[in-house]
Amino acid sequence: MHPPASTTEAALVQVRGLQTVLGGKTIFDGLDLDIPRGRIVAIMGPSGTGKTTLLRHITGQLMPDAGTIRVDGQNVPSLSRNALFELREKIGFLFQNSALLTDFSVFENVAFPLRQHLKLPEELVLNIVLTKLQAVGLRGAADLMPSELSGGMARRVALARAMIRDPMLILYDEPFVGLDPIALNQVLRLIRTLNETLGITSILVAHELAAVARAADLVYLIAAGKVVARGTPAELARGESAWTKQFFGGESDGPVPFQYPALDYATELGFPATTNVRGAA
């Protein structure tokens, strides 16, 4: 694993003052973070804090209400349609459910981005696809259909597809969900190996601290619309803030309350506000 990222490293992704409101709910309220080049950075936080929304901002699928999101020096919200498409071609995305095309074989799933965006000789397509499948250990599964794959195999095929065009950045949305220990270890090994051998930058959204601790160089914990903690996995696991204690300790109540905001309990039950009702909040 790389040493901790320093604040002086050039950031491939730089987010400043990000503000996003969706459905009347504030998702980001002045979020700032940097993703250093060549590192694996994990984005963690309670459910509903906007982790996947952040990935959508980085790829330009969703525009913020305010702030800047720079990827390789380009401010994503201000890019033209063509410039945004060109940037996306440098980004690989691993979806939480793998999102394989069910009517296509493993080979054709991995080849899909090449066929959609480039006009390459079939021999070259064959060489590129088999090279990527070899990298994830599934060259022998090229003719299988998605229905014939285990969950871990499907995730590895999706990873081969995500890196088919040698991206500078790969985004992983919950890559460990639903995997057994063997498959999880295989995916962890691939993420780490690909980053080190290809020099790419990786952002992974995940909840599993044990897995993140083995893969990530840097972790951002986001909550309440901001970054509430930043550091190596070990530093965050030892964190003394209320946020880190609750999130990594699994406490049911804390900065993220157990009770969703509601009207006064007694009033909502129809009792006068002055009535002392047992159990009323």
| 65 falls within a domain | yes
CA separation for the pair 35, 47 (Å, rounded): 21
Q: Are residues 162 and 273 in the same domain?
A: no
Judgement on whether residues 96 and 62 belong to the same structural domain of the protein: yes
Domain identity same for 272 and 222? no
Q: Is residue 1 part of a domain?
A: no
Pairing of strands 218-223, 91-94: unpaired
CA distance 64 to 198: 31
pLDDT score recorded for residue 254: 56
pLDDT at position 5 is 46
Quote the pTM value.
0.80
Backbone region of residue 180 per phi and psi (left: phi > 0; alpha: psi in -120 to 50; beta: other values): beta
pLDDT for the residue 281: 46
Dihedral sign of CA atoms 20, 218, 88, 135 in order: negative
Backbone angles phi, psi at 267, to 5 degrees: -65, -40
CB-CB contact of 13 with 75 (8 Å):
no
pLDDT in the model for residue 96: 77
pLDDT of residue 6: 45
Q: What pLDDT is recorded for position 77?
A: 93
Low-confidence ranges of the chain (pLDDT < 50): 2-8, 275, 277-281
12-30 residue pLDDT tens: 999 999 999 998 899 999 9
Residues 117 and 169 in one domain: yes
Q: 272: domain range?
A: 251-281
| Domain co-membership, 132 together with 268 | no
Claim to verify: residue 189 and residue 264 sit in the same structural domain = no
Number of domains in the chain: 2
Q: Is residue 170 part of a domain?
A: yes
* Residue 2 in domain: no
